């Protein structure tokens, strides 16, 4: 039975998972790596840490499964999106640490571009807004702030890529400089309607075309790993950004289906089919996947803080020792208190898009303690998801029942408390699948589809299995009261920004 290996390169760790041809998991390995915060709002990774942990976890997973390179039909790569690496075209040496998607150093640059009235043009081409979140302004910063970088780039000596592209370059020994349409669609440099890099956007941000990778289907032959890495060459046949990979792993192939992934942040995607839907509610329009040259689009809402709110409880406040303690602690909270956490630790994502504001707690009393803080942190994830859900429902009027259920995945979905509260606040069922590794599964599926190991999308969707459906149990009056309190808290926080 052949294996398909998924490389899941995330924000805080790298993982490798071997899937059997029946989509069951044979083995997995995970390794964390350091985060670097050189200044307020800056987040960086060492590219060598990304590379080393990726290879180490691949080898560990293969060892656990007793698999050789010959046993693996294909590799699929999924990755933290928007994070940028720029490297020497000959040596492969990065010229700077990777600038991570959470990094806000280009906020002033983005503000200037908006003030020049450029955002409507950028949004029309990319489906995105002008925000430090996306790759384009990060590349511009590197070219302008690393000594000699711009001159080297203009001479064709530097390559740019998102993490998938960097890993592909390294895996193939520098032979292949390519990415897929989902990752390209997150750069601010890619025209999602034409399916190509856009010269006007490249000129705007000062990025030489010679730096850019080839853009391919999400399921395609990207190249082959050099034999010395895994004791033999393995073909690489699938790439997708992590949230698009999770959409595929959740089998959201039908227009109207929504998935939400809960990791460091929270990311909800609504499949809109072959038509890119322009949001009237500050959502993003993006590429969900590209197969056989045909793009499928999605509306996306991005929340910067989800699981990291629980990390803050643990590492910042010390009110818990393990994430699993959060739900039981929240259960002990005083129901008479209405404490709201707006976790804008790095600004606010969709649908507010304010990079300047910072987090705040509302409704504190002398009786507020660890239980109320845990309650507020978990609920903050649910409230933020509600904001995305409401925006998506407004942008995609129900033609059928597709958008009445939310499929969820990611580490936080292990918390029954959080998932139940999510169902209560959405007033909609929340479905948690049997296979929680949906991001890795999506990458494996894309690779296995190209390699002929996995079936066509609809047959794959038929194998999706439900672990638990959380049904709403909160009264309408309570739900409306709680949502109104959240809206007041957000309004209060936004009022602290001079731009409001």
Tally: H helices and E strands in the chain: 17, 23
- 489 Cβ contact list (under 8 Å, min separation 6): 340, 342, 360, 362, 363
| Residue 494, SS3 per DSSP | helix
Q: Which residues of 242-253 are buried (b: 16+ CB within 10 A; e: fewer)?
A: bbbbbbbbbbbb
According to the 3-state scheme, what is the secondary structure of 21-36? CCCCEEEEEEEECCCE
Alpha-carbon distance of 91 to 83, in angstroms, equals: 21
**What tokens does 468 get?**
């638990």
Sign of the CA dihedral running 36, 39, 42, 48: negative
Binding site for glycerol, by residue number, is 81-82, 133, 242-243
* Residues annotated in a binding site for sn-glycerol 3-phosphate: 11, 81-82, 133, 242
Backbone angles phi, psi at 471, to 5 degrees: -105, 145
Q: Provide the β-strand partners of residue 11.
A: none
Task: Please list the helix, strand and coil fractions of the chain in percent, rounded to the nearest 5, in that order.
Answer: 40, 25, 35
* C-alpha separations of 226 from 4, 175, 180, 233 in Å: 17, 10, 20, 5
Measure the CA–CA gap between 322 and 317, rounded to whole angstroms. 12
Please state the residue numbers annotated as binding site for ADP.
11, 15, 264, 307, 411
Question: Going by C-beta distance under 8 Å and a sequence separation of 6 or more, which residues neighbour residue 214?
Answer: 177, 178, 179
In contact, 160 and 194? CB cutoff 8 Å: no
96 in Cβ contact with 45 (< 8 Å): no
Q: Residues 490, 353: contact at Cβ < 8 Å?
A: no
Known binding-site positions: 11-13, 15, 81-82, 133, 242-243, 264, 307, 311, 411
Q: Which residues are annotated as a binding site for ATP?
A: 11-13, 264, 307, 311, 411
Check residue 239 and report its DSSP letter. Answer: E
DSSP code of 497? S
């Amino acid at each position: 039975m052949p294996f398909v290996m998924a490389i899941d390169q995330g924000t805080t760790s790298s993982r490798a998972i071997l899937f059997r041809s029946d989509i069951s998991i044979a083995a997995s390995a995970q390794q964390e790596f350091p985060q670097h915060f050189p200044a307020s709002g800056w987040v960086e990774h060492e590219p060598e840490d990304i590379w080393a942990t990726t290879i180490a976890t691949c080898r560990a997973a293969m060892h656990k499964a007793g698999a050789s390179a010959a046993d693996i039909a294909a590799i699929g790569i999924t990755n933290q999106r928007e994070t940028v690496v720029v490297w020497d075209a000959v040596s492969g040496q990065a010229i700077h640490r990777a600038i991570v998607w959470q990094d806000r150093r280009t906020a002033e640059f983005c503000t200037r571009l908006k003030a020049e009235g450029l955002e409507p043009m950028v949004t029309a081409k990319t489906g995105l807004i002008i925000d430090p979140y996306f790759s384009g302004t990060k590349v511009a910063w590197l070219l302008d702030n690393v000594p000699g970088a711009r001159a080297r780039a203009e001479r064709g000596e530097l390559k740019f890529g998102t993490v998938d592209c960097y890993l592909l370059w390294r895996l193939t020994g520098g032979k292949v400089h390519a990415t897929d349409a989902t990752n390209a669609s997150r750069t601010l440099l890619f025209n999602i309607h034409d399916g190509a890099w856009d010269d006007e956007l490249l000129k705007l941000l000062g990025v030489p075309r010679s730096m850019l990778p080839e853009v391919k289907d999400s399921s395609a032959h990207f190249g082959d790993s050099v034999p010395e890495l895994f004791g033999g060459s393995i073909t690489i046949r699938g790439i997708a950004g992590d949230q698009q990979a999770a959409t595929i792993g959740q089998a959201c192939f039908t227009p109207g289906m929504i998935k939400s992934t809960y990791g460091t942040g929270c990311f909800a995607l609504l499949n809109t089919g072959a038509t890119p839907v322009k949001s009237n509610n500050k959502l993003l329009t993006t590429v969900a996947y590209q197969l056989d040259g045909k793009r499928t689009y999605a509306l996306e809402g991005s929340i910067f803080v989800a699981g990291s709110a629980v990390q803050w409880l643990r590492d910042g406040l010390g009110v818990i020792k393990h994430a699993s303690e959060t739900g039981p602690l929240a259960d002990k909270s005083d129901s008479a208190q209405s404490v709201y956490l707006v976790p804008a630790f790095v600004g606010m994502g969709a649908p507010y898009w304010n990079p300047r504001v910072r987090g705040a707690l509302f409704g504190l009393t002398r009786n507020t303690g660890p239980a109320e803080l845990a309650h507020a942190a978990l609920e903050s994830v649910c409230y933020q998801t509600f904001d995305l859900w409401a925006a998506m429902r407004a942008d995609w009027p129900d033609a059928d029942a597709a958008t009445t259920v939310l499929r969820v995945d990611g580490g936080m979905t292990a918390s029954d408390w959080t998932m139940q509260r999510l169902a209560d606040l959405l007033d909609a069922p929340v479905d948690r699948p049997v296979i929680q590794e949906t991001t890795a599964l999506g990458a494996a599926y894309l690779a296995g589809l190209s390699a002929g190991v996995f079936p066509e999308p609809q047959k794959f969707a038929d194998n999706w299995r439900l672990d638990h459906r959380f049904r709403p149990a909160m009264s309408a009056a309570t739900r409306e009261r709680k949502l109104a309190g959240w809206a007041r808290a957000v309004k209060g926080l936004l009022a602290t920004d001079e731009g409001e």
